[in-house]
Chain A
């Protein structure tokens, strides 16, 4: 697959971005939304668990449970954003099924936690059901879904198939079937996996890819977040490196540069080793995003990541 340009991203209608906790999948989801909008697409960004800060990261206000415009891009694209709280998905669903107001209020106030407890995966399914509804209505050219973090991505995506083990009739089963149909049609939805070039995240993304493959969902190129740029010059000592530039270093400068280089050589070798493992274990194109030298990625950093996403293969 050619990952230069935004086609790989906009060739489906729902991009579900998932990764284990701490790998930056929410940031990558936001960068994907921006990249597609910069390509002229009308994008809807959905933060499933309503994590704070995502609206401002995309240049707007905090996300709420209704669409709001976050930014317009040159070339006619735009990013809107929203959350889908489980309670809202439930109440909207009851409304869709023609349930009256008073009873609906009673049912939602008293019993969502109980119904959810009795019907595992129901909350996830209702959220996916709402996404499916938005996709069917062609609310946007591309819907980017920031999937639940940590260990919850696989259960989230498995909720549709898993529920049919417990529920054998009724609208929940229909809903589950319709969601499964969307998830297994690559023209309608695909999953973008995010990881880091570190041993444990690599192990985990390989497992996650297998889980998702089992459910029958197509995978987009794999995004490896926070990759240091290659620095072949570090292989030389600072003094040797200076010779190539026909210059000399003070001994203080040699020490200072070497104090960084020792760590850098190990780090880069390790990063390359993990990228090799990913190439060997997953049959997916790999997109590397640069490691930014900040502890918190802000709206000003997002265009850098968006550009790297559509900038072509590693």
Chain B
């Protein structure tokens, strides 16, 4: 593509954005795409960090990520660039619990306050599973890395989600949770049962006690109380994150496959990005079957009604592959129209799974054209 070409490409995002978020349904190569964009940016001379969520094992190996909490801190990915001055790629694996703990530490006024929260059994049980916690933590980690100033580009791969939009709403959901009347009623005053006069909160406590016994009621109230100490900080952070995601520094790349269901989710996501005013940087469609060259009408007629045998295998395979590849291309039309001017990249089903840096570099070239090394 020439420099004068006015059509925006993914290269613009990779070179120009400070934050890049990949989102889309599960099983479409989202994490691999995020990592490949990271390689491309590093080879363009930028210092890049990729935040992954639950990467496939071989991809994690390629990025030098091992199991365990240590992976929650950035690791330098070796073999991406030749000299340090060329730019470099770091990677880390999101650990929602560790990120949540760090958030509590940062927001608490004192060591004692944060200890009270961190040792609460209810907190321990929910820090990994609180409504949207993983999505929120992906965003939170992005904010931590972005504000550290150590990187030119932060790439965040989002958790696979049927409702990928959950991710974008995670900060708002946390604010809503903190504004919930039941939560407010529970966190006012010192003694739980004496002061809880709000009907809904009373019903809540009553229901929890009926269902799960008195101990968890005490623990729950204690947890919500201690959380209220750090609430102003959480609220402020949620607002900052939301503003950051809406700013020009950010860009969202939607990743999907040519299956009807995945495309439906991608369309939904594109609409939601637009409605909510998030910067939309491109669509990547992975796993597309190649379209074989067509048989001429005369050849097709001559090859119809073959008896069983190797040539029949060839003809049937050619027909099946053509049918599927054609259906996929038709299915993609509406999404392409929706994408409008933003880059729309279609990638064929690869021959092998990507499990090393060379594979990621190859994918990066396909994603945005050749990258200077």
A residues whose Cβ falls under 8 Å from a Cβ of B: 20-23, 49, 51, 94, 97, 99, 103, 106-107, 109-111, 113-122, 149-151, 155, 165-173, 198-201, 203-204, 228, 231-236, 238, 240-242, 244-245, 247, 249-250, 252-253, 255-257, 259-261, 263-264, 266-267, 270, 291, 293-296
Contact = CB atoms under 8 A, between A and B. Distances in A.
Contacts, number: 235
A21 B309 contact: no
Contact of B26 (A21, A240, A241, A291): A21
B122 interface: yes
Contacts of B206: 103, 107
A260 B292 contact: yes
Across the A-B interface, the 5 shortest Cβ-Cβ residue pairs: A22-B27, A21-B26, A233-B313, A233-B310, A296-B260
Nearest to B308: A233
A97 B306 CA distance: 68
B16 interface: no
B219 to A, nearest CB: 8
Nearest to A115: B208
B212 A106 contact: no
Given A118-B223, A171-B210, A294 B314 contact: no
A233 B312 CA distance: 8
A295 B260 contact: yes
A241 B311 contact: yes
A167 B216 contact: yes
17 contacts: A20-B27, A22-B27, A97-B211, A107-B203, A109-B200, A111-B208, A115-B207, A117-B131, A155-B129, A233-B309, A234-B310, A234-B313, A247-B302, A260-B314, A264-B317, A295-B260, A296-B259
A305 to B, nearest CB: 15
A231 B317 contact: yes
A110 B182 contact: yes
Nearest to A298: B260
A166 B317 CA distance: 55
Interface string B10-43: 0000000000000001111000000000000000
B311 A238 contact: yes
A interface SS class: helix
Contact of A116 (B131, B321, B353): B131
A115 B200 CA distance: 12
Interface in B127-186: 129-131, 159-162, 177, 180-183
B292 A168 contact: no
A259 to B, nearest CB: 4
Given A121-B129, A293-B323, A295-B324, 16 more contacts: A21-B26, A94-B207, A107-B203, A113-B131, A116-B131, A118-B122, A166-B125, A231-B317, A233-B312, A241-B314, A245-B311, A253-B302, A260-B321, A261-B318, A295-B259, A295-B327
Contact of A200 (B56, B295, B317): B56
A118 B292 contact: no
Contacts of B160: 21, 150-151
A295 B287 CA distance: 12
Interface of B: 25-28, 54, 56-58, 121-122, 125-126, 129-131, 159-162, 177, 180-183, 199-201, 203-204, 206-216, 220, 223, 257-263, 289-290, 292-296, 298-299, 302-303, 306-307, 309-318, 320-324, 327-328, 331, 349, 351-353
Contacts of B351: 266, 270
Contacts of B353: 198-200
B263 to A, nearest CB: 8
Contacts of A234: 310, 313-314, 317
Contacts of A259: 290, 292-293
Contacts of B220: 118
B54 to A, nearest CB: 7
A150 B208 contact: no
Contacts of A241: 309-311, 313-314
Given A118-B208, A118-B220, A295-B259, A51 B162 contact: yes
A269 to B, nearest CB: 10
